[in-house]
Structure 1
Amino acid sequence: MPRTARPRGRTAPAALCLCLALGCGSGGTPQGDEPSPPAGAPRGTGDDVVTWASSAGRVGAAVDGRGYRLVVHTSVGGTGLRVRLSNAFGNQPVTFGTVHAGLQRHGAALVPGSNRRLTFGGARSVTVPAGGIVYSDPLPVRIPAASDLAVSLYVPRAGGVLTGHWLAMQTSYTTDGDHTAEESGAHWAQRTGSWFYLDAVTVRPRPAAGAVAALGDSITDGWHSTTGLNRRWPDYLARRLRASPASSVEGVANAGIAGNKVLTAGPGQSALNRLSRDVLPLPGLRTVFLFQGVNDIKAEPGATADQLIAGYRRLADRVHAAGKCVVAATIAPYKGWPEWDPAGEAVRRKVNTFLRTSGEFDAVTDFDRVLRSAHDPERILPAFDGGDHLHPNDKGMRAMADAVDLESLDCASR
């Protein structure tokens, strides 16, 4: 039987949410658990719900005098838009001189009249210390669900490590100098496939709405889905939730990092090390959807089934201790990928048996059965194969989202 989640608390309100992220100064400790944030750490108001998020990492060297117009796709709509800017991996302070948010019209151009200045505790600029995050003040406008939001940042002073998300599967824009207030795209000629500094957007939706966060790797990050069309499996899940009048879970946050592992650091900190920074503090979070493990298995040396199972248990215990639900997904087939071997396949099968039968989770979604070929269950179905025998294409991404029981995402309400 599914486990009943513990009662959820409300996050504390704050006008200026400036705080130090935990454990952000290093690449992560193998096999380690990151401590939970201190009680009462500011994360937005109790009415806020995350409508978009990405997981931060190191994406190069920071540059002074740079502008970023970052395009993101909302899930739930609402009023009181706030953005969260992160210097989690920075080793020097970063100053955001001006920040605007508007709706994308086409390319770098914005819908006329939609671009609004954001403030931070009433100020037009803010300096975030190394390892820190900051929330903007809420904007008194309504942001539609499924809208393409453009957040424009000007960074006059930066240095050291640049915090961002490398694999956006979305085109954004950069420039030299401060052009954040401009709705024209004329000065935003340089394109990028990454997001910088911005790692969450929240709104205040209808009462009692909540959110789900997908904690995963490159499949969740959307690799091999179509760039710019929001066809990652969490995007398809967001569409299903919007179309379901019975669901109170409406916000969807994507906490996938390409190459990420449950147990050890690689591209990004391990899931165990980043859960408390990337997922649990998200406003309105109701459920964590855990879909990871293949990178642990195909690593050299690969994790054993017992090691992975112990990691899943620690993640589930920490999510439940935070008063949230946890839904797990089985590991999908990947035969044909260069690092596949029979030993790794045996680990995958043993782990999947644990996920299906252990009762450690509030619910389980069987992505293995959804994606595998009937003729060779160690392989992904050719119609769902993105071409490398590991990552699903758009059809596979949609099939994954269609397999999720929407009621399982709000198990604490039952």
Structure 2
Amino acid sequence: MRRPFIASIALAVVLAAASSASAGATAGTDDRARPDNWVTAWAASPVVGVFIPFNPGCPAGTGLTDQTVRNVAFVSAGGDRVRIRLTNTFGQRSMRVGHATVAVQAANADVVAGTLRSLTFGGRREVTLAAGGHALSDPVQLSVAALSTLLVSVYVPGPTGPVTMHPFTAQGNFIATGDAAASPTGSGFTDLPCWLLIDGIEVRAPARVSGTVIALGDSITDTSATTGNANRRWPDDLARRLNARPGRTLSVGNAGLGGNRVLEPRPDGDFWGVPALARLERDVFSQTGVQSVILLEGVNDIGFDAGAAELIAGYQQIIAQTHARGLQIFGATLTPFGGSFVDTPQRRATWSAVNEWIRTSRQFDGVFDFAAATAMPADPFTLLPAYDSGDHLHPNDAGCQAMADAVNLRQLLP
């Protein structure tokens, strides 16, 4: 673990800086955007577009023809300008985007009057996404409040072939026939259970937002078992805590993927995504403004009987690569799974060994003990009933809040 040098003079400097930052926030100077202060306000890790039997309403596997997707995204930070990242990461051929817009959500697929903006790419309304590539829109002037929701609409003439997606969202999205990107209402849109065609929203943030923390994980970070359309994932709760604090803060990007593993691809479906070790560059290091990472992943590896030593070796590689980029990385202990379908004596032993290493190895820049925050006091292997979604594996809304509350903001913002 990297240790900050602490001395009386250093402490005095920190306190003075904190006082100055607080005064600046009160005076309003900290609320002004800096020209170069772009951060990731929302992110969704992409996966290959395939048909998912238990998520049949998502057309990613068959693709789109003459359709508009209206994605709904809860942003962790606000600002005065916005730019959108379109994705064709897993596309097998180039794809033309005919029209794209961004707006503030009123409700469902309806737009707040006066907020709809057409996007351009190098000054042009249309853009072609290369197979395996993405496109970043030109900045558009739009006042966005932290913890608000944006609608990002993308029209594709098609046929596109399979479309890069994020399959499990806990968020209702929308789709319509034809070019409905500029529609101010939800008329003609129907429900869509996945995010399509986008994987990032960036804002030019106020000066007090000094960067982005990326939450790297699996379904417990992604969406699973939280209330739909309520933004109750633990990274959302962390964003609320960060936004509420005075002075310097961070935006939050969610790099969680349901079913994802650290070490190996899942053998039971490509829609679980490539393993964490194979998506660091795209989902973490390339995120605009990234300063730090919180790693909470490994339960699915344990569920496929990975051993503690190999999982720890995977963590060490993630730590090494993150530090090589000059970023901080914080380890979160794996939450309990006693009584779930994952639970066996051998897997409990692996879980215990892995969490003990996270707590004591001193290889992370800090540790957030999510396991202790969510477990029954007398049974560390089992989720507290008040935090159990019902499957004894995934924390519910209250459990996610407990996890977010276990993040030491003073460590996260040294």
Q: Paired residue for 1:338?
A: 341
Q: Is the 8 A contact 1:101 1:150 kept in 2?
A: yes
SS of the aligned residue for 1:290 comes to: strand
| Cα distance in 1, alignment partners of residues 207 and 289 from structure 2 | 11
TM-score, normalising length: structure 1: 0.87
**SS of equivalent residue, structure 1 residue 100:** strand
Partner of 1:279: 284
Aligned pairs for 1:93-132 (under 5 A) are 93-132=94-133
The CA distance in 2 between the partners of 1:121 and 1:309, in whole Å, is 44
- The within-5 A match list for 1:247-262 is 247-249=248-250, 251-262=251-262
Q: Which residue of 1 aligns with 2:402?
A: 399
Larger Rg: 2
Give the CA deviation at 1:246. Answer: 3.4
Contact 1:46 1:283 in 2 (8 A): no
2:239 maps to which residue?
Answer: 238
Q: C-alpha distance in 1, partners of 2:278/2:78?
A: 30
CA contact (8 A) 1:48 1:205 kept: yes
Distance between the aligned counterparts of 1:168 and 1:56, measured in 2? 12
Partner Cα separation in structure 2 for residue 233 and residue 52 of structure 1: 14
Name the aligned partner's letter for residue 53 of structure 1.
A
State the shift of 1:158 in Å. 4.1
Deviation digits for residues 111-170 of structure 1, max 9, x if unmatched? 111111000000001000110011000002221111110011101124332101001111
Q: What amino acid maps onto 2:301 in structure 1?
A: D
Deviations 1:181-216 (A, max 9, x none): 11011121x101210011000011123621101000
Task: Give RMSD over aligned pairs.
Answer: 1.3
| Counterpart in the other structure of 1:145 | 146
Inter-CA distance 63–102: structure 2 relative to 1 (3 Å threshold): same
Matched residue, 1:192:
192
Match of 2:301 in 1: 296
Query: C-alpha separation between the residues in 2 aligned to 1:407 and 1:270?
Result: 30
What's the counterpart of residue 83 of structure 1?
84
Cα separation, 2, equivalents of 1:406 and 1:326: 14
Q: Aligned letter for 1:241?
A: L
SS state at 2:155 partner: strand
Aligned position for 1:170: 171
Which secondary structure state, in structure 2, belongs to the residue aligned with residue 47 of structure 1?
strand
Aligned to 1:48: 38
Q: How many residues align?
A: 367
| Aligned with residue 308 of structure 1, among 285, 308, 311 | 311
- Distance (Å, rounded) in 2 between the aligned partners of 1:122 and 1:159: 23
What is the CA-CA distance between 1:3 and the residue it aligns to? Answer: 5.2
Equivalent position SS for 2:138: coil
Deviations 1:50-107 (A, max 9, x none): 0000100023232221110111011111122000001000001111100011111111
The secondary structure found in structure 2 opposite 1:408 is: helix
What is the SS of the residue equivalent to 2:292?
A: strand
- Using the alignment, how far apart are the partners of 1:196 and 1:351 within structure 2? 35
Structure 2 contact 36–204 (Cα < 8 Å) conserved:
no
What is residue 263 of structure 2 aligned with on the other side? Answer: 263
| 1:325 aligned partner, one-letter code | Q
Which secondary structure state, in structure 2, belongs to the residue aligned with residue 242 of structure 1?
helix
Q: Which amino acid aligns with 2:306?
A: A
Q: Shift in Å at residue 248 of structure 1?
A: 2.6
The Cα shift of 1:46 comes to: 4.9
Percent of paired sites with the same residue: 42
Q: Distance in 2 between matches of 1:3 and 1:95?
A: 49
What's the counterpart of residue 42 of structure 1?
none
**8 A Cα contact 1:255 1:278, kept in partner:** yes
- DSSP-derived class of the 1:58 partner: coil
1:367 to 370, 390, 412: 370
Q: Is the 8 A contact 1:216 1:290 kept in 2?
A: yes
Deviations 1:236-277 (A, max 9, x none): 00000000113332x110100000011011210000000111
- When the two structures are superposed, what TM-score results if normalisation uses the length of structure 2? 0.87
The answer to whether the 8 Å contact 1:247/1:406 transfers is no
Question: Bigger shift: 65-74 or 151-160?
Answer: 151-160
TM-aligned CA deviation for residue 47 of structure 1: 2.6
2:143 partner SS = coil
Label 1:281 to 1:3 Cα distance change in 2 as closer, same or farther (>3 A). farther
Equivalent residues of 2:332, 2:370 under 8 A apart: yes
Q: Distance in 2 between matches of 1:246 and 1:389?
A: 38
Tell me, what secondary structure is at the counterpart of 1:326?
strand
Q: How many angstroms apart in 2 are the aligned matches of 1:124 and 1:163?
A: 21
Q: Could you tell me how far 1:378 is from its partner in structure 2?
A: 1.1
